[in-house]
Amino acid sequence: MLDRRHALATLAAAAFTLSALPALALDKTAFSQAAFDAAMKAGKPVLIDVSAPWCPTCKAQAPILSELTKQPRFKNLVVFNVDFDSQKDALRGFKAQQQSTLIVFKGGTEMGRSVGDTNKASIEALLARAI
């Protein structure tokens, strides 16, 4: 009987974890200079998300960004992920010295940035500067 209870508990935990994954997923594109340049040329609002898979602050930002970018007002926001560990040229180009850096662009111009911010209201205010 204990084995059955343990199995059911494990299945329930797995189902809960899997059901939460889509809510946490952020629709972002791996950064490439060509894609970024095309978005800038098209005048699209852009968010550069500098992150690393090992970064706890980046992990805290992810669900906030996911929730915010699903809002209708941010529907046209193009989100590019710059990998802190492997895209050093992009980091230099954006003058980003730390992971968990968020940079927004509007009309081809940088409109603001934050580093290490996990406050939903201030991240939302930053994203609003791009639209």
* Helix segments in 25-129, DSSP class H: 33-41, 56-69, 88-94, 120-128
Could you say which DSSP state residue 78 is in?
E
Helix (H, G, I), strand (E, B) or coil at 50: strand
Contact by Cβ (8 Å): 46, 80: yes
Which is catalytic among the residues 26, 50, 58, 90?
58
| Annotated catalytic residue 17 | no
| Annotated catalytic residue 55 | yes
Which is catalytic among the residues 55, 78, 79, 126?
55
Q: How far apart are CA 66 and CA 124, in angstroms?
A: 11
- The residues annotated with a catalytic role in the active site are 55, 58
